[in-house]
Amino acid sequence: MNSNIWLLTFADSIAIATTLILAALGALFTERSGVLNLGIEGILLTSAISSFLAADSTGSIWVGLIVGSLVGAIMASIHAVLSVVFRANQIVAGLALVIFGTGLANFLGKPAEGKPITTVIKPLSFGALSDIPLIGPVAFGQDIITYGSLVVAVVASLYLFRTRPGLELRATGDDPATVDSQGLSVASIRLRYTIFGGLLVGLGGSWLMLAQSAAWHQAATTNGLGWIALAL
């Protein structure tokens, strides 16, 4: 009995890590470009409520995931414009994004507070493989986004350290003057990767809402996962 409890807890821990992986990767791409985005928590919240409203109104988890991801990209673009174009203090801009995102999520989600989710992401079915003792629920009891996040992590590593665009990205954060001397636009690179990072964070927030939450409760949806992702 106790072993089953620990096994299910471990399986759930792997599942919840999906949001952390996606959010941390989003923060990684942003920071590698030379932009610090402390607004991850705000992006997670707005993408979570957006995905909930979209999935609830359309009955499609894919619409929910897409809308939530796009909202994450839009939120990140606000930070990108403030930090890169207007050269605002990145720490202040990021904290402002958290405040704005929290307020926006509260405004949009107040009518839906406590409303149960009817459209959820379900684990993939692997038949008998899911019933294998010990490893079955852990390795074969997850959903497509969880497996996809692991693939994205591997691809991101290869992209950063094995491709020319990845080299340019890292150089932009480490030595922007050299990148500029090569005829590349530092501002353009930072804008692109900050927005792309927001897209990944938005996907993480959408998944958290549609796969791990039983209902919309703003106070309990992200539980500070955005700050944990930044620490990673």
Amino acid identity of residue 123, one-letter, is P
Amino acid identity of residue 72, one-letter, is G
Residues in the chain: 232
CA distance readout (Å), 24 to 28, 38, 105, 149, 227: 6, 12, 21, 11, 10
The number of C-alpha atoms within 13 Å of 183 and in the hemisphere containing its C-beta is 0
Question: 56-82: string of b/e by CB count within 10 Å (b at 16+)?
Answer: beeeebeebbbbbbbbbbbbbebbbeb
Q: Given this model, what pLDDT does residue 217 score?
A: 82
- Mean pLDDT, contiguous 10-residue spans, the chain (232 residues): 60 78 97 97 96 94 97 98 97 97 93 86 83 76 91 98 97 96 96 98 95 77 84 80
Place of tokens 């530092």: 186
φ, ψ dihedrals at 59, nearest 5°: 75, 15
Residue ranges per structural domain of the chain: 2-231
23, 201 Cβ separation under 8 angstroms? yes
Q: Given this model, what pLDDT does residue 5 score?
A: 64
- 175: closest CA among 33, 4, 26? 33
